């Protein structure tokens, strides 16, 4: 089997389980946080680094929100069983790069990794992300090439895969929908918050020998979980968040 075809097959397999990638990262944080000497960091430096890590994750979500909020039905779906694309999306974020959702994912996880203060974990996370998502990108692009032929080739040849070309931006013809964000992104936001709080908990366990998180962090967790539960219920048991022509 050719190497490229093997990577495509791997990508199709990993595509089905891409939602489990954060679990792997959660487990990997444990030894890196345990081995980090947090006494080397001043309180001011630690606070600034945490703020930067949160900002990076927020930027990642803004990328995801704009991408998903301006995407019509049939592209960039939540499907997990197989690749689905009824149209080739080439406007909005897709006018600057080919994989904006994965760029958003990387920034979100880079922010969480940065909050560990471990340069080694940041490097390992980045390497795993590259190995994992590179194969998914290959599988997605092979699927789109087979389905859209020359249209996909012409579009893909003008755009970078991961680093956006901001000068090439072309506004999406699909209006931004906040309802789409509420329907599709509550789980991702909650997962990110859990990631940050998991890092905070491990720090307290290994540094202070305390099994707890701050009151502020606990409040954020409760509120975000409550909102996520409401949105999930509205999505599955009502038509309030339904939209015509949206995934």
Distance of CA 129 to the CA centre of its chain: 11
For residue 116, the domain's CATH number is 1.20.120
Closest Cα to residue 243, out of 174, 175, 173, 179? Answer: 179
User: How many structural domains is the chain composed of?
Assistant: 1
Contact in structure between 5 and 12 (CB atoms under 8 Å): no
Answer yes or no: is 52 within a domain: yes
- pLDDT at residue number 3: 65
Ordered alpha helix ranges (H), 159-245? 178-184, 186-203, 215-237
DSSP classification of residue 115 = T
- Going from the C-alpha of 133 to that of each of 107, 137, 156, 180, the distances in angstroms are 13, 6, 17, 24
Tokens 């939209």 sit on residue: 243
Contact in structure between 83 and 11 (CB atoms under 8 Å): no
Note the pLDDT tens digit of each residue in 150-168. 888 998 898 998 999 999 9
Answer yes or no: is 127 within a domain: yes
- pLDDT at residue number 81: 47
Angstrom distance (rounded) from CA 190 to CA 62: 15
Angstrom distance (rounded) from CA 188 to CA 62: 12
Q: What global pTM score does this model have?
A: 0.90
Tokens 């689905």 sit on residue: 84
Answer yes or no: is 228 within a domain: no
Angstrom distance (rounded) from CA 243 to CA 220: 29
Answer yes or no: is 150 within a domain: yes
Answer yes or no: is 210 within a domain: no
Query: What are the structure tokens assigned to 228, written together?
Result: 């996520």
Name 92's bridge partners.
Answer: 170
Note the pLDDT tens digit of each residue in 17-27. 777 778 888 89
Answer yes or no: is 110 within a domain: yes
DSSP classification of residue 164 = -
Answer yes or no: is 184 within a domain: no
Those residues of the chain that have pLDDT short of 50 are 76-81
Answer yes or no: is 196 within a domain: no
Q: Which domain holds residue 60?
A: 3-175
Contact in structure between 99 and 67 (CB atoms under 8 Å): no
Query: What are the structure tokens assigned to 65, written together?
Result: 């929100």
């Amino acid at each position: 089997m050719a190497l490229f075809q093997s990577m495509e097959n791997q990508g199709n397999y990993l595509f089905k389980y891409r939602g489990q990638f954060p679990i792997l990262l959660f487990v990997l944080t444990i030894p890196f946080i345990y081995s980090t000497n947090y006494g080397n960091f001043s309180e001011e430096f630690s606070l600034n680094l945490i703020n930067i890590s949160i900002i990076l994750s927020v930027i990642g979500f803004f990328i995801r929100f704009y991408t998903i909020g301006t995407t019509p039905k049939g592209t960039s779906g939540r499907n997990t069983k197989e690749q689905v694309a009824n149209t080739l999306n080439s406007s909005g974020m897709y006018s600057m790069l080919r994989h904006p959702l994965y760029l958003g994912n990387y920034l979100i996880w880079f922010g969480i990794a940065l909050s560990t203060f471990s340069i080694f974990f940041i490097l390992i996370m980045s390497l795993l992300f590259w190995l994992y998502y590179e194969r998914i990108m290959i599988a997605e692009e092979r699927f789109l090439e087979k389905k859209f032929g020359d249209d996909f080739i012409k579009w893909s040849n003008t755009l970078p895969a991961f680093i956006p070309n901001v000068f090439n931006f072309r506004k999406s013809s699909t209006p931004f929908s906040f309802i789409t964000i509420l329907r599709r992104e509550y789980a991702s936001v909650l997962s990110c918050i859990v990631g940050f709080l998991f890092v905070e908990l491990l720090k307290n366990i290994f540094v202070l020998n305390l099994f707890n998180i701050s009151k502020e962090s606990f409040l954020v967790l409760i509120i975000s979980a409550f909102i996520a539960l409401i949105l999930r219920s509205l999505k599955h048991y009502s038509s309030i968040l339904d939209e015509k022509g949206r995934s």
